[in-house]
Chains A and B, each alone.
Chain A
Amino acid sequence: MRSETSSESVNLTPRPPLPQGEGEKDAPPGWSYNPSAWRERRLLIALAALGFCAALYTALYQLSVVPHLWDPFFGAHSSYLVTHSKVSKILPFPDGVLGIPGYLGDLIFGSLGGASRWRTRTWAVLAFAATISGLATVSLLLTITMGVLVHSWCTVCLVSATVSTLIFGLGIGEALPALQYLKRVYGREHTLAAVWRALWGARERPAREPRGEPALS
């Protein structure tokens, strides 16, 4: 194990100042970059928009609004078997519909707040993390279902699964500074009420926090 577990050992040698890129001045304490910076989030939002289109297209096909589902790799019949399988009808509505609010949530929660949102809109960061985790889990289960139960594949469904996997893998890291922030607030105030207020972005007063991250009022 290397530096992901090396936090317990502390090197007191001063480090050279970090390069200050876009949003870096709002970087969380102890971070060498800012996971909430727009530079980090742009790709995730673009992927969420792509996933939303794929989910909408699949849902419209499942609801018979669109007559055909484009599938250049596995063919229309294979796509039909996947999108009209028993598994796709477990819910009262076609499973493709699930992706629409999911990706919409990704778009909304991923876009809210600025570069310091890990601290100012902690709830949005955690809501984003919950949404992308849920979508990734559902996509994983649907991909396994395609291969194991339906024995057929669907290109648009796989595109959607790939997109949600990428958003999850590349975006879940932003939850870490938000959780660290809430932990710091609890460590300082020792009340869940303070954590609750911090979660919703309560304004703070300057105090003991390192690097200008002030204490909760």
Chain B
Amino acid sequence: MGARVITVALGVWLMVSPPILRYPRTGADTIDRVVGPIVVLVGVLALREVTRIARYALFLPALFLMLAPWFLHYPANVELANAELTAIAITICAAIPGRLRQRTGGGWLGLLNPALPGEQLREIVEGGPS
């Protein structure tokens, strides 16, 4: 849960960092203000164990944030450093699974698995992992 709270904080940081770091109005502030709310939304989604799998979706905005400076040629080092460091922090938080204690009947991936929830579900109910 701590990693998810940090993720949400990083998303908020992206939204507020352009005025705090005094970005000029270039592509960098736009990218931060687009990626920030997405990171917040996905971070909140991954807060609960049942939707913790959403943390994998954070790799995408983090990758985008990481690569954007090289395509958009950010004019100053502060914008580049902010984007790269925040992207690395989001990636690290997304890689941490956190404590998973609840069982959720096979989870979201179980919906895609044709073997679930027939016989396998019964076995899960009787005492297997979620």
Asked if B40 lies at the interface with its beta carbon under 8 angstroms from chain A, I say yes
Which segment of B63-71, B75-83, B120-128 sits at the interface?
A: B120-128
Within residues 94 to 120 of chain B, which ones have a CB less than 8 A from any CB in chain A? 97, 100-111, 113, 115-118, 120
Question: Judging by beta carbons under 8 Å apart, are A187 and B111 in contact?
Answer: no
Question: Judging by beta carbons under 8 Å apart, are B125 and A211 in contact?
Answer: yes
Asked if B15 lies at the interface with its beta carbon under 8 angstroms from chain A, I say yes
Which segment of A24-32, A53-61, A87-95 sits at the interface?
A: A24-32
Within residues 158 to 179 of chain A, which ones have a CB less than 8 A from any CB in chain B? 161, 165-166, 168-170, 172-173, 176-177, 179
B100 partner residues in chain A, CB cutoff 8 A: 2-4
Question: Judging by beta carbons under 8 Å apart, are B123 and A10 in contact?
Answer: yes
Question: Judging by beta carbons under 8 Å apart, are B130 and A30 in contact?
Answer: yes
Q: Is the contact region of chain B dominated by helix, strand, or loop, or is it mixed?
A: helix
Asked if A72 lies at the interface with its beta carbon under 8 angstroms from chain B, I say no
A64 partner residues in chain B, CB cutoff 8 A: none
Question: Judging by beta carbons under 8 Å apart, are A15 and B130 in contact?
Answer: no
- Assembled-state Cα–Cα distance A168/B43 (Å): 11
Asked if A191 lies at the interface with its beta carbon under 8 angstroms from chain B, I say no
Rounded to whole Å, the gap between the CB of A83 and the closest CB of chain B is 18
Within residues 27 to 72 of chain B, which ones have a CB less than 8 A from any CB in chain A? 30, 33-34, 36-38, 40-41, 44-48, 50-53
Interface mask (A46-82 → B, CB under 8 Å = 1, otherwise 0): 0000000000000000000000000000000000000
Q: Is the contact region of chain A dominated by helix, strand, or loop, or is it mixed?
A: helix
Rounded to whole Å, the gap between the CB of B40 and the closest CB of chain A is 7
- Assembled-state Cα–Cα distance A179/B101 (Å): 21
Kindly identify which residue among B48, B53, B105, B113 contacts A30, using a CB–CB cutoff of 8 Å: B105
Question: Judging by beta carbons under 8 Å apart, are A7 and B129 in contact?
Answer: yes
Asked if A35 lies at the interface with its beta carbon under 8 angstroms from chain B, I say yes
Nearest B-chain residue to A136, judged by Cβ: B41
> 13 A–B contact pairs at CB < 8 A?
A2-B97, A4-B53, A6-B129, A30-B105, A30-B124, A144-B37, A166-B44, A168-B45, A169-B44, A176-B50, A176-B104, A177-B105, A180-B106
Question: Given known contacts A148-B30, A177-B105, what 10 new A-B pairs fall within 8 Å (CB)?
Answer: A4-B97, A7-B124, A12-B123, A29-B125, A144-B37, A148-B33, A169-B51, A176-B50, A176-B105, A176-B108
